[in-house]
């Protein structure tokens, strides 16, 4: 039995419309399925865990990155595979997987694919799928959440970028990568990534792989506003990694970030922390791949 978990409020209700098309497609293919609809934040984790306990081999998740994260937390270390259907605002993890942007096409690709064990990250003991970050990234997510009414994809994030440009101050933090000595840095942003994209399509971690047992730690030196504006197109295209004097890249099994009161985003969820212990959890999740 295939399970379909739907977040009806994702993308301002557009996910509910997409879910109807997905169900019609499954019925047309004579595939038995069971639909579970979330009613509140956090419920997808419980629904996914229940599906695994009931013997599901594939749990499809129609929603955004936050819904996919919840479902992944419910399926970690189980025999059920997660299939991510891009029905949210950003859909960054789906981009890393190379899925079609249209939910129906993504469903066809997943049904023709196979399951593979992939890594997840851990932030202070809580799993994440895609990335967590502090600094300009988190401030932008905070501003973008107020602008989701503007549309899908990168548009709310770009609004957040413009808003953050006027209010942002460099982040001052202590970083320890694996067992190396800690170091102090000032940075524009500090990202620890399992997936490659953030912000509705910004290719910030182009070297990240979801099955290598490692996380990519990227931090960028502080820049004046006009230089940030010049860097943004390169961040979107993944071309910023060539600027090795500004952009620093480490591949780590674990990292510790310390900064009193830092705002951190984890797969789009915001929290305020003084310390962030981040680590890779290799091959922890079965993921349906196209």
Catalytic residue, chosen from 50, 105, 258, 269, is: 269
To the query of whether residue 269 is one of the catalytic residues in this protein, the response is yes
- Reading the block at residue 185, the tokens are 């840095």
| Helix or strand (DSSP H, E) at 256 | strand 254-266
Among the listed residues 80, 48, 78, the one whose alpha carbon sits nearest the alpha carbon of residue 61:
48
How far apart are alpha carbons 49 and 70 in whole angstroms? 10
CB 164 within 8 Å of CB 157: no
Question: Hunting for tokens 């030196």 — which residue is that?
Answer: 221
Among the listed residues 108, 121, 145, the one whose alpha carbon sits nearest the alpha carbon of residue 72:
121
What is the separation of C-alpha 144 from the centre of its chain, rounded to a whole number of angstroms? 15
Calculate Rg over the CA atoms of the chain.
Answer: 19
- Write out the catalytic residue numbers: 269
């Amino acid at each position: 039995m295939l399970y379909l978990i739907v977040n009806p409020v994702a993308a301002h209700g557009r996910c509910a419309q997409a879910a109807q098309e997905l169900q019609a497609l499954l019925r047309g293919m004579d595939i038995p399925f069971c639909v579970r609809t979330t009613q509140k934040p956090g419920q997808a984790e419980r629904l996914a865990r229940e599906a695994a306990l009931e013997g599901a081999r594939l749990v499809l998740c129609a929603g955004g990155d936050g819904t996919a994260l919840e479902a992944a937390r419910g399926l970690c270390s189980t025999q059920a595979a997660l299939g991510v259907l891009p029905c949210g605002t950003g859909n960054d993890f789906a981009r890393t997987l190379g899925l079609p942007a249209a939910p129906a096409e993504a469903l066809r690709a997943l049904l023709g694919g196979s399951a593979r064990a992939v890594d997840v990250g851990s932030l202070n003991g809580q799993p994440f799928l895609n990335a967590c970050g502090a600094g300009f990234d988190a401030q932008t997510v905070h501003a973008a959440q107020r602008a989701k009414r503007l549309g899908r994809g990168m548009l709310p994030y770009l609004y957040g970028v413009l808003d953050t440009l006027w209010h942002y101050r460099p982040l001052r933090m202590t970083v320890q990568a694996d067992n190396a000595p800690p170091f102090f840095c000032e940075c524009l942003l500090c990202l620890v990534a399992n997936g490659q994209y953030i912000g509705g399509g910004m290719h910030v971690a182009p070297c990240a792989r979801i099955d290598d047992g490692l996380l990519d730690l990227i931090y960028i030196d502080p820049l004046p506003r006009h230089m940030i504006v010049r860097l943004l197109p390169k961040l979107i295209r993944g071309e910023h990694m060539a600027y090795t004097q500004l952009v620093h890249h480490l591949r780590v099994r674990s990292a510790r970030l310390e900064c009193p009161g830092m705002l951190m985003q984890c797969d789009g969820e915001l929290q305020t922390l003084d310390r962030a212990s981040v680590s890779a959890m290799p091959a922890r999740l079965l993921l349906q791949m196209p």
